[in-house]
Amino acid sequence: MTRSALGRYAEIRKIPGLASLLVAGAVARLGSGMTPLALLLLLLAERATGRYAYASLAVGLYALAGVSVSPVIGRLADRLGPSPVLLVAAVAHATALAGLVLAADGGSALSLICATAAAAGATYPPLTPAVRGACDRLTEPSTGSGGLRGTVLAADTALYEFVFVIGPLLVGLSGIVATPAAAIAAAAGVTPAGTVAVACGTVMRARRPRPSHVRTNGLGPLRLSGFTVLLGCVGALGAGFGAVSVAVPSYATEQSGHDSAALAGLLLGVWGLGSALGGLWYGARPPRSPLSRQLAWLLGCVAVSLAALAVMPGPAALGAALALGGGVIAPSLTVYISLVGRIVPPGMLTEAHTWIAAVPVAANAVGGAVAGTVVDRPGGVTWAFVMAGTIVAVAAMTTAWPSGPITRADSRAENSRACRRGRASPSSGDPSAAWPGGRPH
């Protein structure tokens, strides 16, 4: 990176409270990089389920329960402020994870394991929506830091990606020196501790509901056509990642036998490392092209990178392909997060970020569950990688539609910004006209 590129990261350090928020947010979310893989490996133990299909079902319920409840939690955070919601969820999540470990490690019935997994997923704190919503508010045009929003979101995305480097590696280490249950127990400790740090920080405590904004009711941000289509594309991305997250441990099992935790953790770790480095590069050199166009190209690159995993001849080649392909993941995440901040009204921003964080998790679970049935068959790992690339390719083509809802929503948002700067005016003269239906209800 050049000095001028690094200078953008030096500038965001001057935003009051941002650095501590990003660090605390990364620590708090470390559990999200550990729990899914640790749970999958724990449930593959003969004492638990012993089969990928059953283990993937429990992991899927963990994620689906989260996506079912998190939009409600996000709306509560918009109305009450994020701090109290984060604190309550942190305690509930730690308790649910402890119950999950006891159920799985004790050889309980699959129904009880699935129920505790769902409870753990439903109580996961809304950390990512809260942190991203705070980043959006810290970089509003009125703060004087509006030009740094892309770099701020890229920094948060890169730090979050490091979670998926460190998390799988810790799970792999636990598989060597302890058990996957120990990794889940560690997540049950670090998640509430980090969540308390985020909730009690100055930035989060300063966030209050804005009386001037109309309260969100009904479908909220789902009423915005551009947002719903974007949500579908993001879900496709999550489904592709879910398929890979199951295919890689299955590949590791084929290569290393039942002692596969270390290889699976290493492969997923280098995937996350590539993504984190790509995100940092993007934040230092953000392109000037429209966000919708950037997203289309990035999703296309992701699709190619996932499908290419099917033809890698060995673990070293697969690791190299994961590292290189990971370089376009964090930029993709940064771009679609930036799009949310542009096309969604401020009064429903936390809820929108909750949807944009939750739907990929649910889609990840669906993709993983389908891949779990595929990899149990001969040659299934190869087909799981092909499936992942195909799903993301469909999202790339949808985003690339020149007159599609995402492109139109991005253009309306740009017109609204120009109106507020006094350079242009929507037909009604009201900035809220940039959103379909005027102001949110």
Mind listing the pLDDT tens digit for each residue in 180-219?
A: 777 788 888 888 899 999 998 888 887 766 554 445 566 7
Question: Nearest 5°: CA angle at 303, between 334 and 378?
Answer: 130
Token code pair at residue 242: 């879910």
78-132 pLDDT per residue, tens: 778 888 999 999 999 999 988 888 887 766 677 788 888 889 888 989 888 888 8
pLDDT of 428 above 60? no
Over range 373-391, report the average pLDDT. 89
HEC profile for the chain? CCHHHHHHHHHHCCCCCHHHHHHHHHHHCHHHHHHHHHHHHHHCCCCCCCCHHHHHHHHHHHHHHHHHHHHHHHHHHHHHCHHHHHHHHHHHHHHHHHHHHHHHHCCCCHHHHHHHHHHHHHCCCCHHHHHHHHHHHHCCHHHCCHHHHHHHHHHHHHHHHHHHHHHHHHHHHHHHHCCHHHHHHHHHHHHHHHHHHHHCCHHHHHCCCCCCCCCCCCCHHHHCHHHHHHHHHHHHHHHHHHHHHHHHHHHHHHHHCCCCHHHHHHHHHHHHHHHHHHHHHHHHCCCCCCHHHHHHHHHHHHHHHHHHHHHCCCHHHHHHHHHHHHCCHHHHHHHHHHHHHHHCCHHHHHHHHHHHHHHHHHHHHHHHHHHHHHHCCCCHHHHHHHHHHHHHHHHHHHHCCCCCHHHHHHHHHHHHHHHHCCCCCCCCCCHHHHCCCCCCC
Residue whose C-alpha is closest to residue 370's, from 209, 221, 243: 243
Looking at residues 308-314, what average pLDDT do you find? 90
State the pLDDT confidence band at 4, using cuts at 50, 70 and 90.
Answer: low
- The CA-atom distances, in angstroms, between 376 and each of 64, 95, 385 are 22, 33, 14
User: What is residue 425's predicted lDDT score, i.e. its pLDDT?
Assistant: 41
Residue partners of 405: CB distance under 8 A and separation at least 6: 225, 226, 228, 229, 230
Asked if residue 302 has pLDDT above 90, the reply is yes
Q: What is the percent of the chain with per-residue pLDDT over 70, rounded to a whole number?
A: 84
pLDDT of residue 3: 44
Mean pLDDT, to the nearest integer, of 248-260? 76
